[in-house]
């Protein structure tokens, strides 16, 4: 694999962005399940999954069946959002990813060829994503962006060839529909030809809503992902989702990282 080179997109600037975690693991969900990957978890999100509005205090009760498993990236009422956070330029992020790739120090290993941007909501940092996407392309890697599909990615990011693991939030998240369903963003991501739609499922009502969204927006390559932060919960939800997935022509993913490590961060 070629050595990293500077991105051709020189006018993006190198201003720091807040990063909650950088780590090396397996992609735990979706089409690249089980594939080694380098992960960037961005801080901050524009949604409040599990709550109808941003929590006002640490003891604000959740109101949704579907809960966010990375609240530490956005819920400042419950978590100290500065803990463990690094403010890094896109180039510094890339340098850290290359340091995490074990082939950097052991050339006998195959280089990690998948970069996953997660959050929070990565598309809040589009300039950083574009820089990283160009770095990935220039070194023979691929990049996936885990997004809630409420923000239009833009032509440049689409042209960079990233894949969008687009996770529309359902009514079970408690987030009002007007905040979680943004037709312009959904349409743009679907039209890119680079979208895989991933829905966290908690029960039968979710299945009906997914079918409605598929019909409304012409969504293709749909994956159901079981809700849960324990192995037992993930397996139980997979069993419940299996038959509906087959009946609707959808795919079913597990959450491999939860099955292996539970709810441990950075895995």
Task: Tell me whether residue 1 is in a domain.
Answer: no
The answer to whether 45 is a known ligand-binding residue is yes
Question: Angle at the Cα of 48 (from 170 to 43), degrees rounded to 5?
Answer: 120
Task: Tell me whether residue 5 is in a domain.
Answer: no
The answer to whether 26 is a known ligand-binding residue is yes
Task: Tell me whether residue 100 is in a domain.
Answer: yes
| Residue 12: pLDDT band with limits 50, 70, 90 | low
Task: Tell me whether residue 31 is in a domain.
Answer: yes
Task: Tell me whether residue 19 is in a domain.
Answer: yes
pLDDT of 263: 85
The answer to whether 49 is a known ligand-binding residue is yes
Residue 114 is part of a domain; what is its CATH number?
3.20.20.70
Domain limits for position 56: 10-261
Number of domains within the chain: 1
pLDDT of 219: 98
**Average pLDDT score over residue span 65-77:** 94
pLDDT of 14: 83
Residue 72 reports pLDDT greater than 90:
yes
The answer to whether 202 is a known ligand-binding residue is no
Query: What percentage of residues in the chain have a pLDDT greater than 90?
Result: 91
pLDDT tens digits, residue range 112-148?
999 999 999 999 999 999 999 999 999 999 999 999 9
The answer to whether 92 is a known ligand-binding residue is no
The answer to whether 70 is a known ligand-binding residue is yes
């Amino acid at each position: 694999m070629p050595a990293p080179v500077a991105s051709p997109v020189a006018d993006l600037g190198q201003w720091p962005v807040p990063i909650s975690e950088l780590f090396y693991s397996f992609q735990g969900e979706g089409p690249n399940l089980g594939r080694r990957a380098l992960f960037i978890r961005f801080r901050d999100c524009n949604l409040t999954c599990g709550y109808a509005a941003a929590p006002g205090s640490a003891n604000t009760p959740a109101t949704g069946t579907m809960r966010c498993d990375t609240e530490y990236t956005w819920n400042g009422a419950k978590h100290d959002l500065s803990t463990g956070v690094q403010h890094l330029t896109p180039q510094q992020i890339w340098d850290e990813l290359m340091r995490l790739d074990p082939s950097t120090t052991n050339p006998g290993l195959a280089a990690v060829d998948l970069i996953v941007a997660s959050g929070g909501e990565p598309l809040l940092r589009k300039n950083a994503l574009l820089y990283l996407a160009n770095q990935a392309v220039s070194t023979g890697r691929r990049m996936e962006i885990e997004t809630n599909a409420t923000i239009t990615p833009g032509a440049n990011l689409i042209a960079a060839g990233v894949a969008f693991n687009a996770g529309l939030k359902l009514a079970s998240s408690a987030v009002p529909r007007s905040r979680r369903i943004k037709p312009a963003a959904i349409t743009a991501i679907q039209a890119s030809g680079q979208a895989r739609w991933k829905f966290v499922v908690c029960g039968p009502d979710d299945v009906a809503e997914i079918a409605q969204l598929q019909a409304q927006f012409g969504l293709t390559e749909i994956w159901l992902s079981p809700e849960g932060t324990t192995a037992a919960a993930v397996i139980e939800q997979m069993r419940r989702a299996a038959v509906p997935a087959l009946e609707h022509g959808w795919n079913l993913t597990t959450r491999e990282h939860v099955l292996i490590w539970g709810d441990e961060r950075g895995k």
